[in-house]
Every structure is written in C-alpha cells, then in structure tokens.
Structure 1
C-alpha cells in the first residue's frame, strides 16, 4: 500500500530520525471556505484570557446550523491541535442556542487557526521512557452553573500522547 501520507483529513509527514508530524492544513482550508473566512486576518491567541462565557445577554445568532457545523469541525481539528481543546470546549457549550457574541468568539478561534494552520502534532522516536503529566482546574469558574472545569495533558518523553479538557 505504500507509505502513509493522508488519512481521515490528517496529513502525515515524515521528519528526521524516524519521527512524524500530523497536521490538518488542507482540512483548515476547507473549514475557512465553509465559514466564508478565507481572507481573514490572523490572530495570535485563540481567546482573550479576560472573556467571560455566558448563555445570557445578547441576540440569537441567525444561523445556528452553521455554528454547529463549524464547532464540529473545530472539535475534529483538536486531534492535531490540542491547544484548541479548552477554547473549543468552552464555545461548544452554546450549540443549542448560540448568540452573536458566541459566534464572534468562534471567529476569533478561527483567526487563531488561520495563524497556526501549518502547525501540527510531532511524534518522535525515543529510547527514554519518561511519563510526565500536567493538570489544571477551575472550581466554580463558570458564571452560569458554577461547575468544575479541568484539563490534563500527558507526555511520553517529548511526545504528547493524551489530553483532555472537560466541564
């Protein structure tokens, strides 16, 4: 069958010393066409740290089907862009009744994706077997329901092997 280059919208590129880079650059281009944002300006952060999420206070977004479709695409993009997991999880909470302010946050995430579309997940061959894990949590930080938010990432040497962000 030959070497793997592209599978399930994920590009696989060999790097030096038996490593791989997984990316979704073509998938991102298709996502921007769907969102009608092919020529948007890039942004260096997915969301501002001062943003407060709420289901109240604003007008209902005119196209909730587009909102849900873009959110599903962003969720799939977290396979090779784990840094998006938290912000995509936060804005996906409003898929039932998205507001205009939620759509603006989604567009901000898309602008960040535009700036980082060539990034990916690097997997390197290694002989050392160290496992390192990091976690973070926020008890009662959600303005609407005061539920727990938490996340973690696990590395096998320099390879990210597991991550999650949950409410």
Structure 2
C-alpha cells in the first residue's frame, strides 16, 4: 500500500527517495488487506446476532431465529446469503433490515448459488452443477469427447512412480481442483477425484489419462446431481466401508461413508486413513469411527435447526468383526492395538446414539467411495444413492 499523494508527516515533506519510511493509521479495514475478510465476517455476524439470531456452534456460517412458531434460518458464505423460513413476513423483515445496514441485492427464489443449480418440483429438490461441469469440459477442450459410463476403470493401478512426469504439472493441478469442487453435488466422482488428488506434487501421464476419463464420464452426465424427495422421514442412517491397504505407495486404507436423512443423501466422503491398519477389521473399525464423528456433528446441526432426532442413528457395516468390537469387549487380541480415540464408536453404541447393523457387501452403498466398480454395480449403487440427472427422463430410486 502506498501513501496518498501529498500526504506527509508533521514537520517534513514526503519524498520517494527519503530514507525514513512513512506510515499511516487506518480508521477502518480497506478492501484488499489481509485482515479485511475477518473484519467483514465479524461485523456481519455481530449484526445478525443483534437482530435476534443465534449462531450455530456446529456451523458458524449458520444463524437461526425462533419466535413462537416462526422459524428463520440464514446461511452465509462471505457476502452471499441464503435465507429460508416458515414465515414469509419474518423473512421479508430480515431482508429489509439487512438492506438498510448493508444494501443487499435480493435475487428472489433460490436457483443458482456458488455454482450450484437448484431445481424444484412437486416431488422434491434437485441440486446439480451442470453449468460448472460444462465450463470445466470447455476449459479442458473435452466438449467433443466420447462419453464413458464410469469415472474410473475397474482395477486401475496408479502409483507415484509409474509413468513419465507431466511437462505442465499446473494443468493437472488446476483440473483436479475444479473436479474437487464438482464433488459438492457429484458423489459419483468423489472416489476417483480423491484418488487422483494424491498425485498433485508430481503428476504423471497415467494420472492425467485417469483424469481425462473423469471428464469423459462428466461429458455423458453433465446434469447429474443429488435429489432430495419431499416424502421422507427424518431418520439418520449411514453406510461405512473401508478398502484395506488400498494405497500401493503407503499401504494405508481408504475410508468411505455416506449419510442419509430419510431417503436424502446429505453427506459423503472418500478419504485415506491417517495410519496403516494391521488388519481389515481395524480398517473397517476406523472407518466406523470417522463416520461416527460425522454423524455426531450432523446431530448437533439438526439440534441447532430445531429438528428433533430422538431415535438412534442406524449405522450399516459389512464387517461382522468390527460390529462385534463396537458392541462389546471381546476380540481382545484383535483390537487391543487400536487407539482409544477409535473406541468412540463403542461409546456411542453404549449410550444409544448409534445402533449397528450388518449389511452385505453387495448392498454396501459406501462401496462406491472406496474402489472403482464395474459399470453395472456402479450404476446400481448410484441409483440407490438418489443421484439423478434431471435433464434426462429418469425415474427416482430410493434406498
């Protein structure tokens, strides 16, 4: 930042060649400075709280307000907001007060937000990123490519050392970054993108070829997204799975889970575990621990939204031994080396927060987040996740 022209300190004139540096004290934060984003968030949050809203402890970008039977929720992302509620008068009043304070622009009913396209019908709400997906294809020069039916080849072997290094590593990194944002509404590419994101340091030709296949898959399904049906209960249920020693470079296992609120898929993840598991049971148990943390956070979020959830969360796993470890203190030799923090699963089972169930590997929905599947199995699990393409004449499948 440069001092304004003509500005000088008392008793001396300002010169660009002066050895004594001059400084000025800012009365308020200016756009472009490092601290301005924090100051803006603090000012906006304080203003919303002054209007009677309560900030969620589970998600600090969420503010809720209750007045009798009236409920209003406000979600903030920097200077973009989503406002909803069951009382249109309260929503209109909030918009008026925010407009007086900051001068907001009301875009009406929610249709497009940060690249997410929202479509409503009598059957429910669909969220997709079709426009963003087409922009990614255009930037990569893949708009005319031949589409494929799965994002990654089954049994594909990738490692850090195989293949020739890419000449332009930045191209690969930019593409993976764009695809990572696309996973916000595309659980079908979550596993493939996560796997390719491990090679950002030194990307190679096989990695770029695998990323190109994801683009080919997107070309065939640019409007794919998550569907939230109208008729659905408020029962949380989750599926967790693990791919034991799935990483060929580190031999770490991969965790995959998906969480439903009724028939609506609301959370999913594909993530490499932090340490090497000594057995498939340990890998599955660690996957259950990660899923338990996510479910616990969702329960806090539902509580902040004043949505009661008195019933236990249903957690499905395809490993009988891991389920036994979570329920009782048997299998000492197979579980004594597991860290104490993983036993949060057992604590949640004992206090009734979570109820464990066995599910066969064929019906394990989280399988799609831990490995590359064949086209038939991939399509079957995808339909059961509630992922649809509203631009095609498909029927909605439910769990």
Q: Sort the TM-score into its range (normalised by shorter chain).
A: over 0.9
Partner of 1:85: 190
Aligned partner of 2:141 among 29, 36, 43: 36
Partners in 1 of 2:134 and 2:191 — Cα distance?
A: 22
Aligned partner of 1:71 among 162, 172, 176: 176
Partners in 2 of 1:119 and 1:58 — Cα distance?
A: 32
The number of residue pairs the alignment matches comes to 166
Is the Cα–Cα contact under 8 Å of residues 238 and 258 in structure 2 kept in the other structure? yes
Aligned partner of 1:101 among 206, 212, 221: 206
Alpha-carbon distance change, 135 to 27 in structure 1, aligned in 2, over 3 angstroms = same
Aligned partner of 2:121 among 1, 8, 15: 15
Partners in 1 of 2:253 and 2:152 — Cα distance?
A: 20
Aligned CA-pair RMSD: 1.1
Partner of 1:50: 155
Q: Which runs of 5+ in 1 are unaligned?
A: none
Q: Which has the higher strand share?
A: 1
> Matches of residues 107-146 of structure 1 in structure 2 within 5 Å?
107-146=212-251
Residue 121 of structure 2 corresponds to residue 4 of structure 1? no
- Deviation per CA, 1:115-163: give whole Å up to 9, x if none: 1112111122335222221111012121111011111001111100111
Partners in 2 of 1:129 and 1:8 — Cα distance?
A: 27
- Deviation per CA, 1:96-122: give whole Å up to 9, x if none: 110001000000011111111121111
SS of aligned partner of 1:120: strand
Q: Which runs of 4+ in 1 moved over 3 A?
A: none
Partner of 2:290: none
69-78 or 55-64: bigger deviation: 55-64
Computing the radius of gyration from Cα coordinates, the structure with the larger value is 2
Q: For residue 43 of structure 1, report the CA deviation from its aligned partner.
A: 0.5
Q: For residue 63 of structure 1, report the CA deviation from its aligned partner.
A: 1.5
Choose between structure 1 and 2 for higher RCO, CA contacts under 8 A separated by at least 6 residues.
1
Alpha-carbon distance change, 105 to 133 in structure 1, aligned in 2, over 3 angstroms = same
Q: For residue 33 of structure 1, report the CA deviation from its aligned partner.
A: 1.4
**TM-score scaled to structure 1, two decimals?**
0.95
Q: For residue 24 of structure 1, report the CA deviation from its aligned partner.
A: 0.7
